[in-house]
Amino acid sequence: SGTSRPVRILHHVQKVAQYGDAQSVLSAVDSYCSKIEWAMNVGDLKGQILDAVVLETRPHYVLELGTYCGYSTVRIARLLPPGARLFSIEMNPQYAQVAREIIQHAGLDAKVDILVGCTSDLIPQLKKKLDIEKFDFVFIDHWKVSYLRDTKLLEECDLLRPGSVLLADNVTCPGAPDYLHYMRTSPRYESQYFPSRLEYLQVEDGMEKSVFLA
């Protein structure tokens, strides 16, 4: 087939969603991916958990690992106060371009920067490049085998402060067992599991919320 799945999702959003209306963009993606073709967006059920954690955290600086089509990027950015900034890292340039256009359709491009590259390369550059001290909220949704490595990298690069919140998608399906074990045994985190379902399916999944202590 000529176009990619993310491009087909973008075309659907551009056709049916109201420009500047983030909720209509989210609804367009969710209806497309539940009726036409599945895609690995966090979805509306786990998205409600994401919303609650963002609202509770009221973050000023947000980091997202794994942008894909920008669904969770829109989900988070729509809840941020003016002046807050969201940086999202995506290693696939095609995904990143689709995400930029979906985020722009939602009217949230002023709050969001998408960085194209590998998290292990970019995370050590963030302080210098972005002139940021710490992230208040991190949404982890990229390669499941990289969750733990990149969390340790955030610690080593001094990008977390006491109270920083990390929320990880898919800790049950596909699963991130080494990340879960680390978070649930480390004295440096207070961790909590939120059971849910895999996006658009009846399969069990869940998200792990971990607060960095010191």
Q: So which residues are the catalytic ones?
A: 141, 144, 169-170, 199
With binding defined as CB under 6 A, does residue 151 bind ligand 77R?
A: no
With binding defined as CB under 6 A, does residue 89 bind ligand 77R?
A: yes
Q: Which range of residues in 11-19, 26-34, 83-91, 129-137 is near ligand 77R by CB under 6 A?
A: 83-91
The least CB distance from residue 91 to ligand 77R, in Å, is: 4
- Rounded to whole angstroms, how far apart are CA atoms 106 and 112? 11
Q: Which residues contact 161 (CB under 8 A, 6 or more apart)?
A: 133, 134, 136, 212
Which of the residues 56 through 75 are near ligand 77R (CB under 6 A)? 65-66
* Residue closer to ligand 77R, measured from CB, 100 or 142: 142
Q: Which range of residues in 3-11, 121-129, 141-149, 155-163 is near Mg ion by CB under 5 A?
A: 141-149
With binding defined as CB under 6 A, does residue 168 bind ligand 77R?
A: no
With binding defined as CB under 6 A, does residue 170 bind ligand 77R?
A: yes
What, of ligand 77R, Mg ion, none, does residue 194 touch, CB below 5 to 8 Å by kind? none
Which of the residues 15 through 44 are near ligand 77R (CB under 6 A)? 40
Q: Which range of residues in 24-32, 48-56, 74-82, 85-93 is near ligand 77R by CB under 6 A?
A: 85-93
Given a contact cutoff of 8 angstroms between Cβ atoms, the answer to whether 95 and 9 are in contact is no
With binding defined as CB under 5 A, does residue 170 bind Mg ion?
A: yes
Q: Which residues contact 14 (CB under 8 A, 6 or more apart)?
A: 101, 105
The least CB distance from residue 19 to ligand 77R, in Å, is: 27
Which of the residues 120 through 149 are near ligand 77R (CB under 6 A)? 141-143
From 30, 64, 141, 208, residue interacting with Mg ion (rule: CB under 5 A): 141
